[in-house]
Structure 1
Amino acid sequence: MINVTEHHTPRSLIVTLYGAYGRFVPGPVPVAELIRLLAAVGVDAPSVRSSVSRLKRRGLLLPARTRQGSAGYEPSPEARRLMEDAEHRLRAAAAPGDGGWVLAVFSVPESQRQKRHVLRSRLAGLGFGTAAPGVWVAPARLYEETRHTLCRLRLDPYVDFFRGEHLGFAPTPEAVARWWDLAALAKEHERFLDAHAPVLHAWEQRADTPPEEAYRDYLLALDSWRHLPYTDPGLPPRLLPADWPGVRSAEVFRRLHARLRDAGAGFVGG
């Protein structure tokens, strides 16, 4: 069996499964089917059930009956929106642009400092860097996603957005290195490469693509990769160090996706 590490929690794998293959399973996914599909990546039945319960409590999965009358679960409207955001973010990560910056400038009263913490955490989770206290910066293409995320969390009264260019005084690559911890971002990409580049190499030596093996390796790769475009917001290549590992990790994921995703759907629908 495959060990489920802290990078592949049962809850995360369930979300990844729905995002990757939910469209191949019309209607709610039966609990028994979730158990079968998660067993292929090393998750036991009790862990699946407890994780489904947590996702249900968070409002991300809704209980529903299948056409056969079995108990199942389907993504909530909020979960579908999050999956759409994630899919858009994954596509954007494959081709980072250079369309300027969006600034989020916020001020939260001391009496509501818990909201300040949530706001900082959410901006960081969306890939923003810190330009100054209360001033966060990100590639401009992240504006729409950030706007509706903050509106959904009712944090929008505390934030003003601006679009703009960086005009100095430091060269922009030096400023970017202050706004983001590039060394930490590079390590995340290298961790992905260490885990999944050998998997890609092994597949490229094979002529066959068995559905269960394809599903297993793709789900694990996607579960690792889908977090990276939020850690690394897709900064313009000209602003990054030479031989940036994000270029290689994006290529490894692209090739794994092309080789394995559709083949893995055969196991999901089997």
Structure 2
Amino acid sequence: MAEQHTPRSLIVSLYGAYGRTPDNAPLPVAELIRLLGVLGVDAPSVRSSVSRLKRRGLLVAARTGGGGAGYALSEDARQLLDDGDRRIYSRTRPGADEGRDDGWVLAVFSVPEEERSKRHLLRSRLARLGFGTAAPGVWIAPAGLHEETRHTLRRLQLDPYVDLFKGEHLGFAATAEAVSRWWDLSAIARLHEDFLATQEPVLLKWESGEAGSAEEAYRDYLVALDAWRQLPYADPGLPASLLPPHWPGARAAEVFTALHERLRDLGERFVRQG
């Protein structure tokens, strides 16, 4: 799972939460420094992280409306964030179908030995998308992830090496038993518990009226989002019937949903006041 709260991760979270506009207007460098500064990130770290994101093709240099230096999202980055929205915010929407048992998507790949670096990249990307390992070279995830998987593999030019299939699990072991082999559910549960340990007190603080400014809302929301947005990738959203009793993911989703509804729009006032 990607490291949380690094300058680069916080910048991605900032663009995801507040940096997308219909005209893809660039965020001024001065604004990036201001908005990351309240999170304890100094200006050199912001500039260094922006440069790395630019080299990765996620940010592009552009002039702001006032002629200043800024950075806009690349087309690939917008697709990446749009795909991420379906995961990150799915449980905040009424009628969300995450966890619905609608079958599985299988990714089967074969990479020539002379291109083994791509084999490693494929494995790491499938794991980051939330796939479990059903067998060597056979990866599995809930069927609802197939579109994002297609986008990701095409963006990385890995699609020639992969075949995708949709289907049902027909045994021989019970599906719940098989799922416990495909994913490390104990490790995923600990990630949810870690999120709750840091973010439940934040929610209680806001519910008790101990905080209230737009700057505080922005700061708390961006940190919560940066922590939460990793979890729907580690936890692919398995049906509840296949999960252990008292699964902490449900409570973690409730806490993030409450923070999102309470803080996101209030935090935007701080973002726009610059």
Q: Which residue of 2 aligns with 1:176?
A: 179
Output the amino acid matched with 2:6: T
Q: Is the 8 A contact 1:93 1:233 kept in 2?
A: no
- Tell me whether 89-98 or 218-227 shows the greater mean CA deviation: 89-98
1:121 aligns with 2:118: no
Q: What's the TM-score, normalizing by structure 1?
A: 0.94
Deviation at 1:46, TM superposition (A): 1.1
Output the amino acid matched with 2:25: G
Q: Which residue of 1 aligns with 2:88?
A: 90
Q: Which residue of 2 aligns with 1:3?
A: none
Q: Which residue of 2 aligns with 1:18?
A: 15
Q: Which residue of 1 aligns with 2:44?
A: 46
Q: Which residue of 1 aligns with 2:253?
A: 250
Output the amino acid matched with 1:77: E
Residues of 2 paired with 1:155 and 1:195: CA distance? 37
Q: 1:93 to 1:179 in 2, by over 3 A?
A: farther
Deviation readout 1:155-206 (Å, 9 max, x if unpaired): 1122111111111111111100000000110111111111101100111001
Q: Is the 8 A contact 2:36 2:46 kept in 1?
A: yes
Query: What secondary structure is seen at the aligned counterpart in 2 of 1:188?
Result: helix
Residues of 1 paired with 2:264 and 2:91: CA distance? 18
Q: Is the 8 A contact 1:90 1:226 kept in 2?
A: yes
Q: Which residue of 1 aligns with 2:148?
A: 145
Query: What secondary structure is seen at the aligned counterpart in 2 of 1:130?
Result: strand
Q: 1:114 to 1:23 in 2, by over 3 A?
A: closer
Query: What secondary structure is seen at the aligned counterpart in 1 of 2:15?
Result: helix
Q: Which residue of 2 aligns with 1:111?
A: 114
Residues of 1 paired with 2:168 and 2:127: CA distance? 20
Q: Which residue of 2 aligns with 1:156?
A: 159
Q: What's the TM-score, normalizing by structure 2?
A: 0.93
Deviation readout 1:186-243 (Å, 9 max, x if unpaired): 1111111111011001110018631000000000000011111111110111100000
Q: Which residue of 1 aligns with 2:214?
A: 211
Q: Is the 8 A contact 1:130 1:137 kept in 2?
A: yes
1:101 aligns with 2:104: yes
Q: Which residue of 1 aligns with 2:95?
A: none
Query: What secondary structure is seen at the aligned counterpart in 1 of 2:89?
Result: helix
Q: Which residue of 2 aligns with 1:226?
A: 229
Equivalent pairs: percent with the same residue? 68
RMSD of the alignment, in Å?
A: 1.5
Q: Is the 8 A contact 2:91 2:257 kept in 1?
A: no
Query: What secondary structure is seen at the aligned counterpart in 2 of 1:242?
Result: coil
Deviation at 1:93, TM superposition (A): 5.0
Residues of 2 paired with 1:100 and 1:91: CA distance? 22
Residues of 2 paired with 1:11 and 1:148: CA distance? 22
Q: Is the 8 A contact 1:213 1:264 kept in 2?
A: yes
Q: Is the 8 A contact 2:4 2:227 kept in 1?
A: yes
Which of 133, 138, 157 lines up with 1:135 in the alignment? 138
Please, which runs of 5 or more residues in structure 2 have no aligned partner?
A: 93-97
1:267 aligns with 2:270: yes
Number of equivalences: 265
Q: Which residue of 2 aligns with 1:35?
A: 33
Q: 1:176 to 1:26 in 2, by over 3 A?
A: closer
